[in-house]
Amino acid sequence: MKNSSHKEIMREIDSASDELQELEAYPLEKLAEIVKEVGFECERCTRCCTKEYNDHVFLLEKDVDKVLAVDPDCIVPAPYFDFCDKNGIFYVEGYALRYKEDGTCTFLKNGLCSIYSERPSICRIYPYMLHREVDGEGNLDWRQVSGLNEHGYYHVETDDETSLDIARQVKEYETLYLKQRLEFFKTILKHFTKNKLRHVQRQYDLRMRDFENGREVDVLVYHKGKLHLHSHKI
Ligand code: SF4
């Protein structure tokens, strides 16, 4: 019989697979209509490049090499570790951009993105998204825009071709993200089985307390089919 953490991981695999199917079935034209209607235009307020406003900048696998070519020290394990084993090692699905001490993105310089042409996928599609979330009434529904009316200009005239192109990029980002998450869970399942490990919630809580108190922790980060060890602290 499988232990509970293996069952939990298999449930996550099923859930990510279902979500991927739902995403693939979502009509591109419908998303393009929403993009056109929202008509977002950046006003260069740079709020979306801060930890305070956007928490973290998650990197798809294809973004990692690009940003590392600019700055080899610009990535960190993404926050919100998924698992912790009995040895106190955390596991997480990928990398995020490092923030500077003032809470702004490492690439934000003089109020501008210094890697604009090479910026990560999520920065290209922001504020659009396409994933399901539970709303205030407890219903699971699609969410297509983040931080509506909180920054930038809205209802800016956007032609059909541009709207469709943005919708295509958003769908591609969300698809790649879910595929990465799926592969992460499959890799963890193999790693736990091979090494006779499982997720231990008590260790997770203890090590998380250490981490939040500024101590260094070991994190295995999923990247391109492998787990990479990082010693990491806030
Ligand atoms: S990479 Fe550029 S656009 Fe993305 S958060 Fe950093 S400064 Fe902003």
Q: Is the pLDDT of residue 73 over 70?
A: yes
The whole-number pLDDT of residue 149 equals 75
Nearest Cα residue to atom 4 of ligand 1 = 123
Give the per-residue pLDDT at 1: 41
Which of residues 122 and 151 earns the better pLDDT score? 122
Average pLDDT, stretch 57-72?
96
**Using CA positions, which residue lies closest to atom 2 of ligand 1?**
113
Overall average pLDDT of the 9-34 stretch: 96
How far is the C-alpha of 145 from the C-alpha of 160, rounded, in Å?
18
Percent of the chain with pLDDT over 70: 98
Give me the mean pLDDT over the 202-224 stretch. Answer: 96
Contact (Cβ atoms closer than 8 angstroms) between residue 207 and residue 90: yes
Distance CA 210, CA 78 (A): 17
**3 state SS of 146:** coil
* Identity of the amino acid at 182: L
Alpha-carbon separation of residue 187 from 9, 191, 220 (angstroms): 10, 6, 11
The string of DSSP codes covering 83-104 is EE-TTS-EEES-EEEPBPTTSB
The predicted model gives 202-220 an average pLDDT of 96
Greater confidence (94 vs 135) lies with 94
When pLDDT is cut at 50, 70 and 90, the band that residue 233 belongs to is confident
Closest CA to 67 of 39, 46, 96: 96
> Is residue 105 within 6 Å of ligand 1 at its C-beta?
yes
Helix extents (H) in the chain: 4-25, 28-38, 51-54, 61-70, 121-125, 160-194, 201-212
Region 61-65: mean pLDDT is 96
Closest to 38 in 3D by CA, of 157, 168, 164 = 157
What lies within 8 Å, CB to CB, of 164 at 6+ separation is: 28, 29, 32
pLDDT for res 4 = 67
User: Higher pLDDT residue, 2 or 134?
Assistant: 134
Closest ligand 1 atom to 116 CA: 2
Q: Alpha-carbon distance 141 to 144, whole Å? A: 10
- Cα(97) to ligand 1 centroid in Å equals 9
User: Ligand 1: does its nearest atom lie under 6 Å from the Cβ of 125?
Assistant: no
Q: Assign 137 a pLDDT band (cuts: 50, 70, 90).
A: confident
Once rounded to an integer, what is the mean pLDDT over residues 79-89?
96
Residue 5: the pLDDT is: 80
Q: Which of 110, 187, 159, 222 is nearest to 230 (CA)?
A: 222
Q: What value does the mean pLDDT of the chain take?
A: 94
The DSSP element (H or E) to which 224 belongs, if any, is: none
Q: How far is the CA of 120 from the centre of ligand 1 (A)?
A: 7
Q: What mean pLDDT is predicted for residues 27-54? A: 94
Does ligand 1 come within 6 angstroms of the Cβ of 59? Answer: no
Give the whole-angstrom CA distance, residue 210 versus residue 84. 13
Average pLDDT over residues 120-130: 96
Distance from the Cα of residue 185 to its chain's centroid: 15
Atom index in ligand 1 nearest the CA of residue 105 equals 6
Calculate how far, in angstroms, residue 113's C-alpha sits from the geometric centre of ligand 1.
5
Atom of ligand 1 nearest to the CA of 54: 5
Q: How confident is the model at residue 148 (pLDDT cuts 50, 70, 90)?
A: confident
Check if the beta carbon of residue 221 is closer than 8 Å to that of residue 77: yes
Q: Is 57 in the pocket of ligand 1 (CB under 6 A)?
A: yes
Residue whose Cα lies nearest atom 8 of ligand 1: it is 49
Most confident region among 124-138, 143-157, 188-202 by mean pLDDT: 188-202
For residues 168-187, average pLDDT: 97
The mean pLDDT of 183-196, rounded to a whole number, is: 96
